[in-house]
Every structure is written in C-alpha cells, then in structure tokens.
Amino acid sequence: MPIQTKESAFTLAASLVFMLLRVLLRDTGNGFGVEITLLLLLLFIVVLWVIRHFTGVKLKSLDEMDLTIRSQAAIIATHGFGAVVMCYALALYLIYRGSACVPLPQVINLAYFSWLSLYAVWSGSIMILYKTGAWHVR
Amino acid sequence: MLDNKPGISNQIRRCRFDSGEMTQEELAQKTGVTRQTIIALEAGKYLPSLLLAIRIARVFNKNVEDIFQIDE
C-alpha cells in the first residue's frame, strides 16, 4: 500500500469521526456550542499532524505519480469544499431569512464542516485516484 | 480534455524481461520512483513525465519511442 494511501485512509477516518463528534456534541442549550466546535477544530489539526508524523509522509519522499495524484485530489477537494459551503450557506439562508440574521454558532459550524469536508474529499479522492489512475491532460 | 486513459501504450514489461528479467523494484530504484509507479505505468494507469520516460529509456538503452507508442 502506498504510504500516501495509508495517510489518506487515516485522514478520511479522522474527518468522518470529527464530523460525527460535532453532531453528537451539539449545543444542548448550555451555550458552549462555539467553544466545542473550536476545540474540535483544534483537536482535528493535532490529529492531522499526528497522522502525518506516524505515517511518515514527506513531500520530498513522494515521486511524480504520488504528487500528481495529490494535486489532482486537491483540485477535486476544492470543488467539494465549495459545494459544501454553497449548500450549507443556502440552507442557512433559507432557515434564517425571516430573521435576516444567522446565529454565530451556525457560521462557525459552516466553517467547521466545510473545512472537514475538504480533508474528507481530498483523502477519499487520493484513494480513488490510486485505484483508477491519475487523470491525463491531452 | 481530462480522462483516465493515457492513449499511450508502453513496452516496459517486455523490456524488463529482455533485460535479464529486471524486477519492478530494480527499475523503480534506477529511475527514482516507487514500485507502485512502475506497476501503474505497466498497467497503463499512469502517463509518465518526459523526464521519467527518458530515464526509463536510458535504463534499457533504447529511444523513448521504442518504449512508448501512441495508440492510433
């Protein structure tokens, strides 16, 4: 298994777990919703660093196919990120258009889920591109 | 245009066997890539850069076009 695939599998799992954690730890009226989200975001960054450290992925050690797949996956992930931001923002608009004011925790949630989805799509795309082969530009 | 089919076939596998049954790992080491990349090249899943194509050709003492052919 390529070292990058291993990193991607762990990153994908971490992204999904952190999304699930945020849903499970939703604000139950104690007013700590934003703090929980920010804390999870910080933990996610630490987890990403730990994954990268223990899988031993270094850009210098990747060859041209690895780097091609990595950058193509990043392009796909950017589109996924944009799609999540757009859908989430549209949902917020439809929900809060009556009050013309979106609550701050929802804005933080938008940032949280869109950022995690970036990593989820990126790592998932890497795994798929190793199976299908990188795209070729002609 | 983007697609997953390179449109270029190669003779890497045949060249390896013609060169004393060179392993994929040996070719990978000589060209500075991983074995996974050689596997992908032989399976037609990856189109190499010009640099890698030249390195592969040099390993087998051949021209690039002797190893890589455009699918007409």
Tell me the average pLDDT across B20-42. Answer: 93
Alpha carbon A101 to its chain centroid, in Å, reads 26
Among A28-32, A80-84, B46-50, top mean pLDDT goes to: A80-84
**Residue from A16, A138, A132, A125 nearest A74 by CA:** A125
pLDDT score of B6: 60
Best interface-test mutation with B: which of A4, A59, A136, A137 has the largest number of B CBs within 10 A?
Answer: A136
pLDDT band, very low/low/confident/very high, at A27 (cuts 50, 70, 90)? low
Residue of chain B nearest A64, judged by CA positions: B33
- pLDDT reading at A29 higher than 80: no
Could you report the per-residue pLDDT of A43-81, keeping only the tens digit for each? 999 999 999 999 988 888 889 999 999 999 999 999 999
Tell me the average pLDDT across A95-111. Answer: 91
Q: Is A134 exposed, middle or buried (0-12, 13-18, 19+ CB in 10 A)?
A: buried
Run of H or E residues at B68? strand B68-70
pLDDT score of A31: 65
Tell me the average pLDDT across A103-126. Answer: 94
pLDDT band, very low/low/confident/very high, at A30 (cuts 50, 70, 90)? low
> To the nearest whole number, what is the mean pLDDT of chain A?
91
pLDDT score of B3: 60
B48/A136 Cα distance (integer angstroms):
10
Residue B46 contacts A, CB cutoff 8 Å: yes
pLDDT score of A33: 78
pLDDT score of B41: 93
- Name B45's Cβ contacts closer than 8 Å, sequence gap at least 6: A132, A133, A134, B4, B6
Could you report the per-residue pLDDT of A92-102, keeping only the tens digit for each? 999 999 988 99
Tell me the average pLDDT across B26-52. Answer: 93
B34/A69 Cα distance (integer angstroms):
14
**Residue from A72, A85, A79 nearest A112 by CA:** A85
B54/B29 Cα distance (integer angstroms):
15
pLDDT band, very low/low/confident/very high, at B14 (cuts 50, 70, 90)? very high
Q: Which residues of B touch A127 (CB under 8 A)?
A: none
Q: Do B36 and A136 touch (CB under 8 A)?
A: no
